[in-house]
């Protein structure tokens, strides 16, 4: 009896094992019943994105990229540089070969960057540092046409330049509304990084109004974590609809590559500079002829000034607008036309916004005495001739 019981138990065990194996490997043998693994498939497989009426998948930025891409170009530059003869000043060389003129040698260097077509008749906006000192500039369009370009004008203090190519009917970018841009908005950076070809990267607006970076004289950058690399300079920063919101200009990097901190010039500044360059070939800014710097609490006490916001005037150009109005070194500038001045950068931007010949009121603190001075704003000299304003 014991032997029959053992045979029965073994038969049941083997039958259950066979049933489990067959139900797992051949579930269709059991009609509509499904295997345990089959129930995992809907959980593991993500549903395919559904395209909208335009054929673009939901959550995609393809529509914005496709709108902006044709207006972004590659900018190729070259210039001739002279190399000195390394042995010209070597006394041994001069002993054997005598004094010879250092004629040096000539060679050409090349550079690359990006640009944005801003009008259908050939105007292109880019960075000044992309085309600075270049004696030959070529632009590669989205349709692979390569055309020579000339510089219409440059503004080193904002790092912007305008080029022009002889072509009509070009795909111009659409300008965005700068006042609507907010921290956290998704943006796309388009350019030619490392010369690999047109590339789109995506990120968000990390911050607005970045200044005091020491990159340009006039700074009000959009900070973004969209990957920007060498070659992206002068390219487009666009919103998700493909509208231009900035010109990619610089990166913060210890290695030369993107580390998630890129800076773009806001389109509000870029457009103002561009329009002045197209109309006159240059940019006109106000100037009063002073040197300024931040004032610390210790300096304020030493000068007998009360603790307050403002910027310290450390020098006045002889015969300049401020000098004629009676402004003196050591004065603390606290407001311009009644608007408080926080620091030297704010002062520079406020004066630069005035047109030459316009009068402006400076609120000063000289020791314990509050003063007001009316100054006739002059025209800011070119960077190489300007005084040491910040």
In angstroms, the CA 21 to CA 13 distance is 13
In angstroms and rounded to an integer, the radius of gyration of the C-alpha atoms of the chain is: 33
Q: How many CA atoms lie within 13 A of 322 on its CB side?
A: 26
305 token code pair: 């000034």
Active site residue 129: yes
Catalytic residue among 129, 158, 225, 331: 129
Provide the 8-state DSSP code for 382.
P
The CA-based angle 199-200-203, given to 5 degrees, is 145
Three-state SS for 44? helix
In angstroms, the CA 341 to CA 351 distance is 11
244 contacts 174 by C-beta, under 8 angstroms: yes
Helix-strand-coil percent breakdown of the chain, rounded to 5?
A: 25, 35, 40
In angstroms, the CA 19 to CA 143 distance is 65
Catalytic residue among 159, 225, 239, 331: 159
106 token code pair: 């000539």
109 token code pair: 């260097």
Beta pairing partners, 291: 315
Q: Cβ of 187: how many Cβ atoms within 10 Å?
A: 27
Catalytic residue among 114, 158, 206, 233: 233
Active site residue 114: no
Q: Cβ of 317: how many Cβ atoms within 10 Å?
A: 19
The CA-based angle 136-246-134, given to 5 degrees, is 10
CA of residue 105 relative to chain centroid, distance: 36
Dihedral (Cα; 322, 327, 331, 333), 10-degree rounding: -50
Active site residue 155: no
Active-site amino acid positions? 129, 159, 233
């Amino acid at each position: 009896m014991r032997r029959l019981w053992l045979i029965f138990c073994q038969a049941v065990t083997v039958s259950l094992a066979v049933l489990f194996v067959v139900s797992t490997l051949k579930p269709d043998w059991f009609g509509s019943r499904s295997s345990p693994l089959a129930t995992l498939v809907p959980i593991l497989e993500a549903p395919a994105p559904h395209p909208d009426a335009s054929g673009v998948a939901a959550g995609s930025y393809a529509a914005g990229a496709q709108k902006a891409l044709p207006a972004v170009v590659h900018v190729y530059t070259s210039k001739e540089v002279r190399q000195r003869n390394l042995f010209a000043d070597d006394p041994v060389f001069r002993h054997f070969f005598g004094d010879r003129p250092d004629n040096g040698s000539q060679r050409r260097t090349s550079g690359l960057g990006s640009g944005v077509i801003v009008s259908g008749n050939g105007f292109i906006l880019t960075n000044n540092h992309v085309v600075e000192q270049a004696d030959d500039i070529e632009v590669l369009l989205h349709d692979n046409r390569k055309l020579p370009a000339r510089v219409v004008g440059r503004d080193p203090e904002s790092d912007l330049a305008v080029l022009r190519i002889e072509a009509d009917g070009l795909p111009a970018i659409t300008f965005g509304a700068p006042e609507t841009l907010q921290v956290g908005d998704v943006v796309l950076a388009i350019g030619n990084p490392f010369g690999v070809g047109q590339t789109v990267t995506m990120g968000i607006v990390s911050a607005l109004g970045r200044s005091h970076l020491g990159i340009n004289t006039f700074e009000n950058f959009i900070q973004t974590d969209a990957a920007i690399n060498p070659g992206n300079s002068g390219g487009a920063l666009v919103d998700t609809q493909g509208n231009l919101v900035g010109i990619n200009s610089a990166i913060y990097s210890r290695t030369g590559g993107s580390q998630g901190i890129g800076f773009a010039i806001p389109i509000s500044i870029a457009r103002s500079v561009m329009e002045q360059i197209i109309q006159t070939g240059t940019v006109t800014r106000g100037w009063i002829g002073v040197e300024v710097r931040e004032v610390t609490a210790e300096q304020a006490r030493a000068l007998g000034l009360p603790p307050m916001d403002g910027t310290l005037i450390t020098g006045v150009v002889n015969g300049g607008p401020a000098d004629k109005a009676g402004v003196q070194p050591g004065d603390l500038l606290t407001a311009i036309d009644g608007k408080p001045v926080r620091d030297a950068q704010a002062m520079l931007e406020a004066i630069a916004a005035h047109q030459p010949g316009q009068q402006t009121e400076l609120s000063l603190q000289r020791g314990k005495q509050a003063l007001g001075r009316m100054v006739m704003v002059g025209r800011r000299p070119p960077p190489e001739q300007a005084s040491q304003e910040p």
